[in-house]
C-alpha cells in the first residue's frame, strides 16, 4: 500500500472567514501573475508560511468547488442560452423591414451558429468532420474549373476505393 492509499484525500475545507477567502483569491491571482511567495508576504504583511498555506487552501477550495459543478447543468444552460439568442435574432430578422437590418440579423445568426457549433464540438457533443459535402452551381463553362473538379472527383474516388478494400 502506498501513502496515498492509506491517507484519505481531504476534499472538504474548514470554514474560512470572508476576509480570508478574499485574501486567498487575491493571493491566487498574484501567483497567476508571477509574483513570488516573498513578494506576496511583503505586500500583505504576513509570513511566507501563511502565504503558502493560503495558496494550498485556495487549491483545496477550487477542488471542492469543481466537485460541486454539475457538468450536465452547465452544458444545458449554455445550450439554452445559445438557442435563446438564435430565436431572438430570428425574431428580429422576421420583424425587420429595413433590408440592411435584415442583413445584419443574418450575419448575427451565422456568427451565433458558428459559435454554437464550436461550443458543441468542444464539449464533444457533435463530430468535427462533416459526413457529406454538397456542391451546387459550379461554373463548368470554364476549363480550369472543369479540370479542378475532375481532379477532385478522381481523388475522392481513389480515397473511397481505398476505404472499401478489405483490410488484412
What is the pTM for the complete model shown? 0.44
Percent of the chain with pLDDT over 90: 37
Cα separation values, 162 from 32, 48, 155, 156, 165, Å: 51, 64, 11, 10, 5
In angstroms, rounded to a whole number, what is the distance separating the alpha carbons of residues 25 and 22?
A: 5
pLDDT digits (tens, 9 = 90+) for 61-113: 888 877 777 888 888 889 999 999 999 999 999 999 998 999 999 999 999 99
Query: Is the alpha carbon torsion for 146, 149, 155, 158 positive or negative?
Result: negative
84 grid coordinates: 435563446
Percent of the chain with pLDDT over 70: 81
Write the CB contacts of 127 (distance below 8 Å, at least 6 apart in sequence).
121
The whole-number pLDDT of residue 166 equals 60
**Are residues 79 and 49 in contact, defined by beta-carbon separation less than 8 angstroms?**
no
Amino acid at each position: 500500500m502506498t501513502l496515498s492509499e492509506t491517507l484519505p484525500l481531504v476534499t472538504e475545507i474548514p470554514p474560512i472567514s470572508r476576509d480570508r477567502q478574499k485574501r486567498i483569491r487575491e493571493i491566487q491571482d498574484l501567483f497567476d501573475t508571477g509574483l513570488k511567495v516573498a513578494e506576496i508576504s511583503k505586500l500583505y504583511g504576513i509570513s511566507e508560511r501563511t502565504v503558502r498555506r493560503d495558496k494550498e487552501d485556495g487549491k483545496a477550495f477550487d477542488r471542492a468547488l469543481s466537485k460541486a459543478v454539475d457538468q450536465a447543468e452547465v452544458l444545458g444552460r449554455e445550450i439554452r442560452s445559445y438557442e435563446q439568442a438564435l430565436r431572438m435574432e430570428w425574431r428580429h430578422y422576421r420583424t425587420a423591414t429595413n433590408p440592411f437590418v435584415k442583413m445584419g440579423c443574418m450575419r448575427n445568426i451565422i456568427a451565433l451558429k458558428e459559435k454554437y457549433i464550436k461550443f458543441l464540438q468542444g464539449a464533444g457533443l457533435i463530430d468535427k468532420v462533416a459526413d457529406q459535402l454538397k456542391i451546387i452551381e459550379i461554373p463548368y463553362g470554364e476549363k480550369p474549373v472543369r479540370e479542378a473538379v475532375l481532379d477532385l472527383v478522381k481523388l475522392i474516388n481513389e480515397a473511397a476505393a481505398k476505404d472499401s478494400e478489405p483490410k488484412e
